Amino acid sequence: MEPLPAPGLGRWGVTACVLTGASRGFGRSLARLLARRFGEGSVLVLVARSAVPLAELAAELRSGGTGLRVECVAADLGSEQGLQRAVAALREVLPAVPASRLLVVNNAGSLGDISKSFLDLTNADEINSYFAFNVTSALCLTSSALQAFGKRPGSSRMVVNISSLCALKPFKNWTLYCSGKASRDMMFQVLALEEPDIRVLNYAPGPLDTDMQLLARTKTRDPEIRQYFRSLQESGQLVDCTVSAQKLLNLLEEDSFGSGAHVDFYNI
């Protein structure tokens, strides 16, 4: 794959991009940075559950004067109906975009009930609902986006999974989150193996200063884990979403990672 050009307004050329979990936190910050890099005629498909902040972000990006087309899909990816709505939007939008690049960023995710231990997780509906949102939807959306965009002469395709240290290391009371992140990492490693012409990256953005981090330090059942995240917040070690998003873009532009690799914020 040809490396992406250096950062700058419109320097990525005409791009089709799909970004999930776009309405807040890391996804919102990433959308703002990406919008400046896409050339005129590009399309950015924003997917999230919250319709109002999603629409507000879309309006902000459309007003940037870059000629960017922004499509919003307000859908709960954990439900069959929401996932079908998102997939249908991709199948409608992506084939018609005269883009030379496809970028799919799987950012949507949730912690699950971190007040529970492993032995408390006996409700199959709760567990299946978690994996439907955090794993199944990422697989279905990515495969649908790649199919809809297709293989185009001279084009490039890149898939990014927003991962976590928890994909590699277990945390007490985080059974669902650690399992989901590990599953997604392996899922995208298989994609990299099967499709060598698609660049695949598992990016761990660091302990971000988000609502999810607030839950981690207040709702985690294990007191040592709670205190660990509190100490990060109190010592100013939480990572600003825009800082981490910029590191991700730098990584994509350098394009020197091995396809399917797990790359951590602190190792860049």
User: Has domain 15-206+241-264 been given CATH number 2.60.40.1080?
Assistant: no
Query: At residue 2, does pLDDT exceed 60?
Result: no
Domain locations in the chain as residue ranges: 15-206+241-264
Q: Which residue, 102, 95, 85, is CA-closest to 47?
A: 85
Q: What is the pTM of this model?
A: 0.95
Q: Are 40 and 12 in contact (CB under 8 A)?
A: no
For 218-253, the pLDDT digits (tens) are 999 999 999 999 999 999 999 999 999 999 999 999
Is the pLDDT reported for residue 121 higher than 80? yes
Q: Give the pLDDT confidence of 165-196 residue by residue, as tens digits.
A: 999 999 999 999 999 999 999 999 999 999 99
Q: What is the pLDDT of residue 65?
A: 81
Is the pLDDT at 6 greater than 80? The verdict is no
**Position 99 confidence tier, pLDDT thresholds 50, 70, 90:** very high
Enter the tokens of residue 199: 């660049």
Structure tokens at 117: 């231990």
- Answer left, alpha or beta for residue 143, where phi above 0 means left and psi between -120 and 50 means alpha: alpha
2 burial (CB, 10 Å; 0-12 / 13-18 / 19+) is exposed
- List of long-range contacts for 91-94, beta carbons under 8 Å, 24+ apart: 91/144, 91/147, 91/148, 93/16, 93/43, 93/45, 93/148, 94/16, 94/18, 94/43, 94/45, 94/145, 94/148, 94/149
Q: What is the Cα–Cα distance from 264 to 268, expressed in whole angstroms?
A: 7
